[in-house]
Amino acid sequence: MRRVDEARLRALEDREAIRNLIASYGPLADSGDAEAVARLWTGDGVYAVDGFPEACGHEAIAALITGPVHQTLMARGCAHVLGAPVIDLDGERASARCHSVVLAKAGEGWEAVRVAANRWELARTPEGWRVTRRDNALLDGREAARALLAR
């Protein structure tokens, strides 16, 4: 046993907080909690979802959840499942890359209606880690989506 570097413990806590933050997105989105989804981002955070106008700030991000596309999906039955993120910590900043899959009820089963690449930019704030930008692009063969997953 010896004294442990505070920085090592802090790095583990940071990664844990970031993982929990990203894991929160799907359950919050699928329970329709627009306010809590928005507050995963900083006040001037950006959520650039493929196929939608870029959403800047809490009000615009919340509107993606209260809007007709998401509400129709929820009524049909949906799951926003995120893959395990690769997290790169860099002091007070971090980035993460992962897949996202939206499954929606269709007949007896469910179908994958969106499969996307995601890159998250995050910052440590007085309230904890928050998303400053999330880019999302459908993995439909375009280079732009593949680039989001690149190291």
- The answer to whether 47 and 28 are in contact (CB under 8 A) is no
Q: Which stretch binds a copy of itself (CB under 8 A): 7-15, 45-53, 55-63, 125-133?
A: 7-15
Q: Please spell the DSSP secondary structure of 68-118, one letter per residue.
A: HHHHHHHHH-EEEEEPPPEEEEETTEEEEEEEEEEEEEETTEEEEEEEEEE
Return the number of the residue (44 or 67) whose C-beta is nearest a copy of itself. 67
Binding to a copy of itself by residue 144, rule CB under 8 A? no
Give the tokens for residue 67. Answer: 């809007």
Binding to a copy of itself by residue 122, rule CB under 8 A? no
Return the number of the residue (44 or 72) whose C-beta is nearest a copy of itself. 72
What is the biggest distance separating any 2 CA atoms in the chain, rounded to whole angstroms? Answer: 60
Nearest-angstrom CA–CA distance, 59 and 57: 6
Binding positions for a copy of itself, 50-89, rule CB under 8 A: 74-87
| Contact set with a copy of itself (CB under 8 A) | 1-6, 8-9, 12-13, 15-16, 19-20, 22-24, 26-28, 30-33, 36, 74-87, 97-99, 101, 103, 105, 108-113, 115-117, 138-142, 145-147, 149-151
